[in-house]
Amino acid sequence: VQLGNSLTHDPRNAKTILAAGSIIQDNQEMDTALIKYRVAAVQTPNSAQLWNNIGMCFFGKAFHTAAVSCLKRALYLDPFEWIICYNLGLVHLNTGQYASAFHYFSASINLKPDFPASYMYLAITLARLKDFPNSCTAYEKAISMEQDHMNHLNYAITLYNHGETEKARTHYGLFKELYTELNQEEMEHDFEVMAQSQALQEALEKADKAS
């Protein structure tokens, strides 16, 4: 409500537009958010937060080249903002550029070492780079900081892919415990998580039968 009132007073107020755009972006309405940000860009073309948010809108629309371009502009404007490094890591991980993803996740962790998701994505990146021992270390760090269902699911998948079936089963069990604690809406919108979970469960069942 406050945001709406502020926009009424001055619809071109850049900080308000940035906040409104960010809320819309969090609700996955990327095109609407981009329109808001375009207005803000005229007022504050040198806002790192603005270019970070524009970059993540493009990422949400799978325009990866545009996303990287905007995020790098944001990083140029504010080289010590951890979330920009984190987001660059996400984009590069999604495009299979694992060396670059490793660089940006490491930079993000150096700037903000208490954000568990950075370690989880670093772990996924290290696994893709065939560095299984350090991947496990990063997963264990993430789990020690936060009991999140995604930490355990991704760790279980990585363990299974490297032949650690029993340990994978343990972490898959922990994932299921935490997953059942989510509310129904969160579960229903996690299509990819459900698909990955199902695929891992089937793989573990096949491993049981084979043994």
Structure tokens that stand for 66 in this block: 């545009």
Rounded Cα–Cα distance for residues 163 and 145 (Å): 26
pLDDT in tens, 72-115: 999 999 999 999 999 999 999 989 999 999 999 999 999 999 99
What is the pLDDT, as a whole number, of residue 101?
Answer: 95
Structure tokens that stand for 201 in this block: 């469960």
pTM of the model: 0.85
Contacts with 182 (C-beta within 8 Å, 6 or more apart), sequence order: 149, 190
Rounded Cα–Cα distance for residues 30 and 28 (Å): 6
Rounded Cα–Cα distance for residues 7 and 13 (Å): 7
Asked which of 10-19, 23-32, 63-72, 116-125 is least confident by mean pLDDT, the reply is: 10-19
User: Distance from CA of residue 92 to its chain's centroid?
Assistant: 11
> How many CB atoms lie under 10 A from the CB of residue 127?
23
Name the residue type at position 181: E
pLDDT in tens, 30-58: 888 888 888 888 888 899 999 998 998 89
Rounded Cα–Cα distance for residues 38 and 94 (Å): 25
